[in-house]
Structure 1
Amino acid sequence: MLLDVIQCVESGRFVIIQDSVQCCGRQLLQSFMCAALKREEVVHVLAFDVAEEDLRVPSDSGCAQRLCFHDGYTDPLGWNDSPPLTVLQFSPGEIHALLSRSEHPKPVTLVIDSLSWVLRHHPPAVVCQCLQELRRGGAVRSIVALLHSDLHQQGIVGSLCHLATAIVTVAPALRGHHTVAKTTRRTRSGRVTQEEECFIIKEDLTVTVQKQTHHPGQRDTEQEEPQADPAAHLTFNLRLSEAEKEAKDKLSLPFVFSQEKKSALLQPRPGAGQIIYEPDANDDFDQEDPDDDLDV
């Protein structure tokens, strides 16, 4: 599923890469950038966490022309004169103005490194509203953002993930030099699928999936411990033999009436009693005055 998310070309998608101090997801973010460039898309990078040199990806001259960096790392708060990009410019209008400077009339992939820096200077509601407007604006085909999930409260992380069409959470593997990616994907119909995979990133930033650690709907029989039988060491028998089961099925329960018994009970018998009811004056019930029989 991870490779499908990287190669996905649907419009309006929003991918969040969640990492932590134990496992950095920036290299996977660069893999998304390389995949978008290979699809001949224009990639705009809002760089707040690291310098442009740390986000550069190997590409030819044609891809380099379609890779646009916006430096928000050198002067993120605009203390100097005419900064290239500040975190205060994180708004739909300002971002659309940055994208309009590109001369390539091709689909745009917006890469944000990272949303954690933006959340330090903007309320979560403002950030969510901005991302939602960028997805619906039309100029941006897809958004890929890095989020340091261990720096924020779970409610803030959950609000952002609720907007995403795919969430990739990276963590170190228990063995080897692999990385575990837990991918959650939401389709347009609302169906949610999850999958865990071990992957490695090569020098050219291509992703190779080594194995699946978990697949929805399947149980891991190798790691499942056999359950103990609670009736194994009892002094009495809780199970029935085949003969006992056959005798039990043939037994007639006392509270279950047979068809013959039902017919005999329902047939009228001679000399049976009858109930005769004769209404009196007090039984004259007035629908308009239900309390007419009360002495009030």
Structure 2
Amino acid sequence: MLPELLQGSDAGGFLIIQDSAGCSGRHLLKSFINAALNREEAVHVLGFEISEEELKEELKGSLTQRLHFHDAFTDPLGWTDHPAFTVHQFGLEELTRLVKHTSHAKPAILVIDSLSWILRHVSPPVVCRTLQQLKKGGAVRAIIGLLHADMHQRGAVGSVCHLATSVITVAPRMTGDEALAKITKRSKSGKVVQDEEIFSIKEDLTVIVMSKPSHTGLKLTDPENQETDPTANLTFNLHLSDTEREAKDKLALPFVFSKEKKTALLHSGPGSGRILYEPDVNDDYDQEDPDDDLDV
């Protein structure tokens, strides 16, 4: 599935590369940029975390002619008098102007490096609304964003990933030059396909899919998603043995009446007490108004 995503056949798609401190996804992001340039597509990069020189260092010189870098790395918050691009310019009108300023006839691909920088300074609802407008506006053909999941709350990460048509979560492997890609792809019909692939990236940014992961060995899990047993460290036992469970089943509960107890309560036997009332001649009792003696 990873080679299929690299081909970029889905128009109007939104791809998120989700990484963490344990495994960076920037090298894979560069592979997507390189693949788009090889397809002779125009690529606009919002660079918040690396400079233009560092990005183009691994790309071929002839391909970078269609690469448009918008420098948000030098002054991302607009502290100087003439910033190139700031995080506060992340909006539909400004991004549309930047993309359409070039002379390319076809819609370009917008690469955001990274969404985490924007989410740190812009509220998640505003970021999600802008991304949704870009997907439907037609100014860009596709959006590719890098997201550092361990920098944000799970709700913010989930909101942004909910808009994505594809999410690639990278995780480390035992071998240094290999990584695990956990892919979730949503089709236009609503069908969700999930897959896992082991891949490596060559020096020319070509992605090589090695194999499917083997689940018989060590399984990589997210520490936040690990289920812990709440009864593991208790000083008393919450589980019953077979003997204790049998004794519990035989115990008669005080609020459960047996058949014999119900019969004894409903049918009074000899010697049981009864209350008999005979009205006195002086009783002022009106059959038509039983409450006549009450001061109401």
Matched AA of 1:58: L
Q: Residue 17 of structure 1 aligns with which residue?
A: 17
Q: Residue 6 of structure 1 aligns with which residue?
A: 6
CA distance in 2, matches of 1:22, 1:49: 17
Give SS of 2:29's match: helix
CA distance in 2, matches of 1:40, 1:107: 12
Give SS of 1:77's match: coil
* Structure 1 gaps, min length 5: 215-219, 224-296
Deviation, 1:176, is 4.8
Does 1:197 find its partner at 2:200? Answer: no
Question: Following superposition of structure 1 onto structure 2, how do residues 221-240 of structure 1 map, counting pairs within 5 Å?
Answer: none
Does 1:26 find its partner at 2:26? Answer: yes
Cα offsets for 1:41-87 (capped at 9, x unmatched): 100000011111222242242x2221000000101111112211001
The answer to whether the 8 A contact 2:8-2:36 is kept is no
Cα offsets for 1:260-279 (capped at 9, x unmatched): xxxxxxxxxxxxxxxxxxxx
- For normalisation by structure 2, the TM-score amounts to 0.71
Cα offsets for 1:264-296 (capped at 9, x unmatched): xxxxxxxxxxxxxxxxxxxxxxxxxxxxxxxxx
The answer to whether the 8 A contact 2:18-2:146 is kept is yes
Q: Residue 134 of structure 2 aligns with which residue?
A: 134
Does 1:208 find its partner at 2:176? Answer: no
The answer to whether the 8 A contact 2:12-2:135 is kept is yes
* Structure 2 gaps, min length 5: 218-296
Q: Residue 160 of structure 2 aligns with which residue?
A: 160
Question: Following superposition of structure 1 onto structure 2, how do residues 53-202 of structure 1 map, counting pairs within 5 Å?
Answer: 53-56=53-56, 57-61=58-62, 63-202=63-202
Structure 1 segments (4+ residues) deviating >3 Å: none
Q: How many residues align?
A: 217
Deviation, 1:177, is 2.7
Give SS of 2:40's match: coil
Q: CA RMSD in A?
A: 1.5
CA distance in 1, matches of 2:52, 2:45: 9
Give SS of 1:4's match: helix
Identity, in percent, stands at 55
The answer to whether the 8 A contact 1:166-1:186 is kept is yes
Deviation, 1:107, is 2.9
Question: Following superposition of structure 1 onto structure 2, how do residues 244-259 of structure 1 map, counting pairs within 5 Å?
Answer: none
CA distance in 2, matches of 1:113, 1:170: 16
Cα offsets for 1:106-135 (capped at 9, x unmatched): 230000000000011110000000000001
CA distance in 2, matches of 1:38, 1:195: 26
Matched AA of 1:135: K
Matched AA of 2:141: R
CA distance in 1, matches of 2:112, 2:126: 16
The answer to whether the 8 A contact 2:107-2:138 is kept is no
The answer to whether the 8 A contact 1:66-1:104 is kept is no
Deviation, 1:8, is 2.4
Deviation, 1:168, is 0.3
Q: 1:24 to 1:176 in 2, by over 3 A?
A: closer
Q: Residue 50 of structure 2 aligns with which residue?
A: 50
CA distance in 2, matches of 1:129, 1:71: 23
